[in-house]
Structure 1
Amino acid sequence: MAAASWSELPRDLLRLIANCLDTYTDEVRFACVCTSWRSILLTIGRSHPWCLLSPEETNEKYDKYNRLYEKYEHFYCLYEKKFHYLEVSNRFRGSSHGWLVSTDEDSPRIYLFSPFTKVQISLPPRYMFPDVRKFCEENELEPYDDGCIGTAFCVHRGFLEKVILSSSPSKANCMVAAICGRKCNYLAYCKLGDESWTCIVKGMMGYDDATFDHEQKLLYAVTFTNHVHVFDLFGSPKLIDTIEPPLSQIEGKLLNRYLVKTSMGLLQVQRHLSLQCEWEDQTYDCYQTSFFNLYMFEPSSLSWCKVGNIGENVLFLGQNSSISIASSCLHGYKGNQIYFIDRLLVFDMVRVRGERYDIGVYNLDSTSVQSLQRSDIKRYRSPTPIWYIHSPEDFFEQ
């Protein structure tokens, strides 16, 4: 009697097994058995949030491993409480739909990068933004064409604030939007294959975050004054609406703003910061998250309604694309919580921040903040750490 093939196991049984897997490593091993097992895994719809850190941001000692991981970035998994090591660019300006948005330190390149498959997709270079005259050496002056004097250091490291995707690059009509400029007062976008960035708006006011409505080809962007601008990107980009700030909002200068598409609708999230915090019995003058306010957009009245419960949604906020994931698609995460990490791109902040990150989870039920700071993650350096959210299809289908 011939032995049964692993690929011929009943699909219902394989699905039961796949649902019991709770780590990325187990899923990869499962999917590598055969194409039949892999196809089952791709139907599960599970996501894995990792925190992407640079090697110098940890205190791990590599000497005994002959510096094996020197060229690798550290992806920290909160659920597993362990690091995964993948070779990626040493500068990133966002993560979206399973891809990193990376830049080169010594060239004008901007590109999408898959940490698992090493696939790269080029975007228009930095000198193709309308405000940048040219890509020059860091000691040269006036790389901008907006009347402001600055050094090329700003273009190398501070010009791009955040880059987001409308969808996975594998889907048709994928668009890329960038918040840029020294005052974050500049929105630009491109389509894959474009040679230059198209200016959406310039000089109106600073922007904190943006999100796409891919189906309607709309871009929502929240300003420093909590207004939300709605742009139509079909044809020539244009501003089609301005949504007024929430009426019940709490005023504050130390504030980060996010726009998140959830199963409940569009959320505007306001992250309030305090200037002083305590760490290991010492007091530092540094920014620390105090609390969050959430507002749900009501399309019928073009207004915001304050909410205190987001059900099974789990938010991940930072330099990455702001994202909401159902807790049923995650292992070890509860709904109605917000995971957050630093947003600043400043590079010499050790003195201000006391060599620690503002990373934690906010529980909307108890309105409390739990720090996720670790003793082996405490050096503040470029680039800012971000959340990298991936799923099995990011590894196998790109």
Structure 2
Amino acid sequence: MDGPLPLATTPTPDWTMLPPELLQTIATKLPDISDFVKFRAVCTTWRSSARVSHPPPQLPWFLEEPDYLPYFKSNLRFYSLFSGKIHTIHSPNSSGDWLWGPAHDYIVMFNVAAPSSQFSLLNPLTGRKVLLPFLDITRLLPIWVGPDPIESREPVVFASLLADSRTRILALYQPVAREWVVIEEPCSYPVRCHYFNGMFYVDGEGNGDTKVINTVTRKVVHVVPPPPEDDYECNAIMGMTYLVQSGSDILRVVLHYNGRLEVPDYHFHIHRLDLQSGNGEEPRWVKISSIGDQILFLDEHNGFSLSCRDYSGLRRNSIYVIKSYQAMHDPSLSSLCRYDIEEARSEPLNCPFVKGGIWIVPSLR
């Protein structure tokens, strides 16, 4: 037969026929929730293999602070560290409110137009909003929100100075009982706090002490003096203290930065709380040079920790921090950087948002 032979055609694979167990394996390897959503949108088979009730561990997004403080609009902008993309999500329930974090799944909302202090939890991706019981405070400082505070037993923690500026409160919302545990203390200093296993860990005494308070008895069980490294001093150096849970440890993370530089240079002192239980020694902070497989995410007020064993694409034993600073030409800028704990070195990262904001672990629940 004369003439060219016909070209062989390659059959188009039917991706809907992939085995469900393979699809489930692929779905668990998607650490950015936008990829997880796109995966579910391919077809019915893929959607049934990537259940919303069992999503893969998600890497944090950064929620942009609004241009006009303190109110957010209905369109929220997020930046993904993993993909480097900006996601704009229409969230009408957030319009006109303060949004507080950092948070897992749900952000704390405060409606400033309400006749009383109205707080609620909002999942900005799904739009689900849950009103919290009344809490009589109007000024918030740090807030900590545990993973999935609606369906799980993880609490929501507020810390605040009251209007008299001489009294602080620690407020613990318990989702199961749907009630607040409120502890009042005389104090005139801003407070940093964290909650873990029935205990408040509270910084902000002015003298650097950390109180450990039992949330059931509401009594102070330990007063831990500051570590000697707190005497770190240098011209133009400013500091900020965070209390963060990392695995089963409570960490005291002190940020030092030079605010006179065009791009701040960050350094951290990290200590682990050693309660010395059972041997009669006093509780103390122990300086550490590694957090192992953990990664810390810090913003202007608070932070949380994740294990890099659950993720890919981010560096272990690191701190990702976003912090406002005052440059000579603009007093309200923010920088995003990664701090390598082992090398004691900070590295600026690209961030398209000029203003600050909060970390959130996105969720479809």
When the two structures are superposed, what TM-score results if normalisation uses the length of structure 2?
A: 0.77
Residue deviations 1:4-38 (CA, integer Å, cap 9, x gap): 99598242x22432254353222113345456412
Q: 1:389 and 1:219 mapped to 2: Cα distance?
A: 23
The residue type equivalent to 2:63 in the other structure is: L
Residue 278 of structure 1 and its aligned partner are, at CA, apart by 1.5
Look up the match of 1:146.
Answer: none
Q: Which amino acid aligns with 1:17?
A: I
- Counterpart check, 1:229 vs 2:232: no
Equivalent residues of 2:260, 2:327 under 8 A apart: no
Give the counterpart of 1:359 among 333, 336, 361.
Answer: 336
Matched residue SS, 1:335: coil
Residues 219-268 of structure 1: per-residue CA shift (max 9 Å, x gap): 2122254322112112x522222122223333458321112222362211
2:228 is paired with a residue of what secondary structure? coil
Match of residue 169 from structure 1: 149
- Between Structure 1 and Structure 2, the one with more helix by share is 1
Instruction: State which of 68, 77, 80 in structure 2 corresponds to 1:77.
Output: 80
- The one-letter code matched in structure 1 to 2:273 is F
Please tell me the residue identity of whatever aligns with 1:37.
Answer: S
Q: Is the 8 A contact 1:271 1:292 kept in 2?
A: yes
Between the aligned residues of both structures, percent identity stands at 20
CA contact (8 A) 1:362 1:370 kept: yes
CA distance in structure 2 between the aligned counterparts of 1:352 and 1:269, rounded to whole angstroms: 30
**Are 1:259 and 2:243 an aligned pair?**
yes
Q: Is the 8 A contact 2:243 2:302 kept in 1?
A: no
Q: Which residue of 2 aligns with 1:104?
A: 111
1:386 matches 2:362: no
Q: What's the CA shift string for 1:355-389, capped at 9, x where partnerless? A: 41133211112212222354x432x4xxx501112
Change (3 A) 1:14 1:56: same
Which segment drifts farther, 352-361 or 303-312?
Answer: 352-361
Aligned to 2:7: none
Which residue of structure 1 aligns with residue 253 of structure 2? 269
Asked if 1:199 corresponds to 2:177, the answer is no
The answer for the alignment partner of 2:353 in structure 1 is 377
Following superposition, the deviation at residue 271 of structure 1 comes to 0.7
Alignment deviations for residues 107-127 of structure 1 (CA, whole Å, 9 cap, x no partner): 23211100122111112446x
Q: Secondary structure at the match of 1:277?
A: coil
Conservation of the 8 A alpha-carbon contact between 1:200 and 1:238: no
1:9 aligns with 2:19: yes
CA pair 95-278 structure 1, distance change in 2 beyond 3 A = closer
Once residues 80 and 256 of structure 1 are traced to their aligned partners in structure 2, the CA distance between those partners, rounded to angstroms, is: 29
Which amino acid is 2:272 matched to? M
Q: CA deviation at 1:319?
A: 4.5
Q: In the TM superposition, what is the alpha-carbon distance from 1:160 to its structure 2 partner?
A: 0.5
Name the residue aligned to 1:37. Answer: 49
Q: Which of 195, 219, 236 does residue 212 from structure 1 map onto? A: 195
Q: Which amino acid is 2:313 matched to?
A: G
Matches within 5 A, 1:87-98: 87-88=90-91, 89=94, 90-98=97-105
Alignment pair present for 1:312 and 2:299: no
Q: Distance in 2 between matches of 1:86 and 1:40?
A: 18
1:321-332 alignment to 2 at 5 Å? Answer: 322-332=303-313
- 8 Å CA contact 2:172, 2:180 repeated in 1: yes
Residue identity matched to 2:333: R
SS in 1 for 2:35: helix
Kindly indicate whether the alpha-carbon contact (under 8 Å) linking 1:229 and 1:239 is maintained by their aligned counterparts in 2: yes
Distance, in Å, in 2 between the alignment partners of 1:354 and 1:22 is 35
Partner of 1:335: 316
Q: Are residues 1:47 and 2:58 paired?
A: yes
Q: Which amino acid aligns with 2:195?
A: F
Number of residues of Structure 1 aligned to a counterpart in Structure 2: 328
Aligned-partner Cα distance in 1 for 2:346–2:106: 29
Structure 1 portions without partners, runs of 5+: 58-69, 130-154, 280-287
**Residue in structure 1 matched with residue 5 of structure 2 by the alignment:** none
Distance 1:295 1:19 in 2: 34
Q: Displacement of 1:100 after TM fit? A: 0.5
3-state SS of 1:255 partner: strand
- The one-letter amino acid of 2:257's match is L
Q: Shift of residue 296 of structure 1?
A: 1.3
2: CA distance, partners of 1:92 / 1:105: 11
**Which moved further from structure 2: 321-330 or 302-311?**
321-330
Structure showing greater Rg: 2
**1:106, CA displacement in angstroms?**
1.8
Whether the 8 Å CA contact 1:180–1:186 is kept in 2: the answer is yes
Distance 2:208 2:262 in 1: 29
1:245 partnered with 2:194: no
Query: Which segments of 5 or more consecutive residues in structure 2 lack a partner in the other structure?
Result: 1-13
1:173 CA displacement: 4.6
- SS at structure 1 position matched to 2:260: strand
Following the alignment from structure 1 to structure 2, what is the Cα–Cα distance between the partners of residues 80 and 225?
42
Instruction: Say whether the 8 Å CA contact 2:156–2:172 is kept in structure 1.
Output: yes
**Does the CA-based 8 Å contact 1:96-1:321 persist in structure 2?**
no
Counting only pairs closer than 5 Å after superposition, residues 123-162 of structure 1 correspond to structure 2 as 123-125=132-134, 128-129=136-137, 155=138, 159-162=139-142
CA distance in structure 2 between the partners assigned to 1:39 and 1:320 by the alignment: 34
Aligned to 1:25: 34
